[in-house]
């Protein structure tokens, strides 16, 4: 029997589990239903119109599966282009990850120079630049598209020679190029925290690396805190759905959440 306190979470694949992990920590005792659209990953190389269509489809599946109390769009690309459509379509609060990530980046920088690593679609939307400048117009934003980070994360190649070489190629502007004066790097895709080690080693210890997961979870917890306070000691219940076979999602979900995750079901959008 479902209840209206379920939180729906979706991403194109495994990356949104980094957001779900922080949500579980911030909201113990809540019920979560997670959808990884593994049949269509990645979103970040697709048109805005296509991403909006996929996001609305994911939201419908989650709403059919459980009586949602909130929806978290654990995908930067969908957050960049589909939030308005989702908020119009759903009668529950819808949270994205870009504004919390932008706020974390602005809070972290000391020199007003921030690099955003993201998918091509997120970079093209300029969503992070707009969100950062809404907080502080003095911050200079360098957008760097890193599309191969998503398939690396999906494949589990997150800390090997392949990941290192790809990171060195993408992050050259930060290490020794036009963005070398940045002191803060925002991981503007929820897949990218899975490559956290190789990214940190590549950009160097002197730079802060932040992502939106914990900031997003804090925003959701603040909005829903009054509902969940009485269940603070309870154990989270997590249902995981995918749209195609996805060993990476299964392995990461069980590594993050252990036996809180039951059978992973496949659904159609």
The 10s digit of each residue's pLDDT in 180-215 is 999 999 999 999 999 999 999 999 999 999 999 999
Q: Is the pLDDT of residue 226 over 90?
A: no
Mean pLDDT of the chain: 92
- On whether both 238 and 202 belong to a single domain, the answer is no
Residue 35 lies in a domain: yes
- On whether both 90 and 104 belong to a single domain, the answer is no
Residue 1 lies in a domain: no
- On whether both 204 and 102 belong to a single domain, the answer is yes
226-to-95, 219, 223, 229 alpha-carbon distances in Å: 17, 13, 8, 6
- On whether both 116 and 129 belong to a single domain, the answer is yes
- On whether both 222 and 258 belong to a single domain, the answer is yes
CATH code, domain carrying 262: 3.40.50.1860
Q: Is the pLDDT of residue 137 over 80?
A: yes
- On whether both 126 and 143 belong to a single domain, the answer is yes
CB 103 within 8 A of CB 257: no
CB 184 within 8 A of CB 207: yes
CB 159 within 8 A of CB 196: no
Pick from 190, 212, 234: which residue ends a domain? 212
Residue 28 lies in a domain: yes
- On whether both 218 and 208 belong to a single domain, the answer is no
- On whether both 196 and 249 belong to a single domain, the answer is no
Residue 179 lies in a domain: yes
Residue 85 lies in a domain: yes
Of 26-35, 173-182, 230-239, the least confident: 230-239
- On whether both 177 and 127 belong to a single domain, the answer is yes
Q: What is the mean pLDDT of residues 149-155?
A: 94
Residues 6+ apart with CB under 8 A from 191: 13, 14, 15, 18, 149, 150, 153, 154
Residue 107 lies in a domain: yes
- Domain of residue 141 covers 98-212
- On whether both 159 and 183 belong to a single domain, the answer is yes
CB 57 within 8 A of CB 28: no
- On whether both 37 and 84 belong to a single domain, the answer is yes
Q: What is the pLDDT of residue 230?
A: 47
Q: What is the mean pLDDT of residues 258-265?
A: 86
Q: What is the pLDDT of residue 3?
A: 46
Q: Where in the sequence numbering do the catalytic residues fall? A: 75, 189
- On whether both 172 and 258 belong to a single domain, the answer is no
Q: What is the pLDDT of residue 228?
A: 45
- DSSP annotation string for the chain: ---TTEEEEEESSSTTHHHHHHHHHHSTT-EEEEEE-TTT---TTS-HHHHHHHHHHHHHHHHHHS-EEEEEE--HHHHHHSHHHHHHH-SS-EE-SHHHHHHHHHHH-SSSEEEEEE-HHHHHHTHHHHHHHHH-TT-EEEEEE-TTHHHHHHHT--SSHHHHHHHHHHTHHHHHSTTTT--EEEE-STTGGGGHHHHHHHH-TTSEEEESHHHHHHHHHHHHHHHHGGGTTSPPEEEEEESS--HHHHHHHHHHHGGGB-PPEE---
Sequence length of the chain is 269
pLDDT above 90 covers a percentage of the chain that reads 84
Q: What is the pLDDT of residue 231?
A: 52
As for how many domains the chain has, the answer is 2
| 65-124 tens-digit pLDDT | 999 999 999 999 999 999 999 999 999 999 999 999 999 999 999 999 999 999 999 999
Residue 224 lies in a domain: yes
Q: Rounded to two decimals, what is the model's pTM?
A: 0.91
Pick from 181, 212, 243: which residue ends a domain? 212
């Amino acid at each position: 029997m479902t209840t209206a306190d379920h939180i729906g979470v979706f991403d194109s694949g495994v990356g949104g589990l980094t957001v779900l992990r922080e949500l579980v920590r911030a909201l113990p005792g809540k019920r979560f239903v997670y959808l990884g659209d593994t049949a269509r990953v990645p979103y970040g190389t697709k048109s805005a119109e296509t991403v909006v269509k996929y996001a609305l489809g994911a939201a419908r599946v989650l709403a059919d599966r459980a009586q949602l109390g909130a929806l978290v769009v654990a995908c930067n690309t969908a957050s960049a282009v589909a939030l308005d459509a989702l908020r119009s379509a759903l009668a529950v609060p819808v949270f994205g990850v870009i504004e919390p990530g932008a706020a974390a980046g602005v809070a972290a920088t000391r020199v007003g120079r921030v690099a955003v690593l993201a998918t091509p679609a997120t970079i093209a939307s300029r969503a992070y630049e707009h969100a950062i400048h809404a907080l502080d117009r003095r911050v200079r934003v360098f957008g760097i598209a890193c599309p191969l980070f998503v398939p690396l994360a999906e494949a589990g190649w997150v800390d090997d020679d392949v990941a290192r070489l790809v990171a060195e190629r993408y992050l050259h502007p930060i290490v020794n190029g036009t963005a070398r004066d940045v002191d803060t790097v925002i991981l503007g895709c929820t897949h990218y925290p899975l490559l956290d080690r190789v990214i940190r080693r590549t950009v160097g210890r002197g730079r802060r690396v932040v992502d939106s997961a914990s900031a997003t979870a804090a925003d959701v917890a603040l909005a829903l805190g009054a509902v969940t306070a009485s269940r603070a000691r309870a154990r989270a219940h997590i249902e995981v759905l995918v749209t195609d076979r996805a060993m990476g999602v299964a392995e990461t979900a069980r590594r993050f959440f252990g036996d809180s995750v039951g059978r992973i079901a496949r659904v159609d959008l």
